[in-house]
Amino acid sequence: MTTYELVNASRTFPTNPPTHALRDVSLTINEGEMVAITGPSGAGKSTLLHLLALLDSPTGGQIIFRGQDISALTENQRCTIRSHQIGMIFQSFHLLSHRDAVSNVALGRLYRPRTETTDDTAADWALSQVSMQHRRLATPKTMSGGEQQRVAIARALVGRPSVLLCDEPTGNLDRANSDAIIELLENLVSTRATPTVIIVTHDPSVADHCNRRIHIEDGVAA
């Protein structure tokens, strides 16, 4: 199945003069792909990721997500799709410091119908996907950066999203931890725990592990 199809997608910010952050971007991303988005600072990478995350809408063109045109949905409609189908992780892991791993992960189901049992079962499944089940009661301050990022990935996975979007996921990690996280993401795609992974990265060795690289310069994708 096709995860994303962009047809001449543009995003112009209404500054004076207008900022053309993305210009007529057309691309297809399929299930089973791990894709890197690269390019210099200010090129439009975060703007593109926000569109893919349904946090923002294009000002021109179309974005089809899993067969549905999402270009002109209301904020509520976008929010529903986002909470059910999209997982995100960031450079700084954004875990709650006073909560243990399992309850940080369960927060990933915040916008789902919930019961404590399903939340804990889902959280333990997600922690096992990132090999952190043995640390389920640990709080973030007792974890390494790599372990914190694993828990953040588990939180993103807990609602079984169709796609995992990553904004500089290894930006705060050393080489060894960074390699381990990338290997983990590769495994998640190959086992289809999450069918599609998209990574914004400045790190060439992270991009080398991806099936494909989308390079953006001055709002234009190549």
| Residues at the contact surface with Mg ion, assessed by CB under 5 A | 46
The residue nearest Mg ion at its CB is: 46
Q: Which does 135 bind (CB under 5 to 8 A by kind): Mg ion, ligand ATP, none?
A: none
Burial class (CB in 10 A: 0-12, 13-18, 19+), 17: exposed
Question: Binding marks (x or -) toward ligand ATP, 14..33, rule CB under 6 A?
Answer: -x---x-x------------
Closest approach, Cβ 164 to ligand ATP, in A, equals 18
CB of 46 to Mg ion, least distance (A): 3
CB of 47 to ligand ATP, least distance (A): 3
Q: What DSSP line would sit under 31-96, residue for residue?
A: TT-EEEEE--TTSSHHHHHHHHTTSS--SEEEEEETTEE-TT--HHHHHHHHHHHEEEEESS----
CA–CA separation, 186 and 130 (whole Å): 12
Q: How many residues does the chain have?
A: 222
**Among 23, 33, 36, 45, interactor with ligand ATP by CB under 6 A:** 45
Tell me which residues touch ligand ATP (CB under 6 A): 13, 15, 19, 21, 39, 41-47
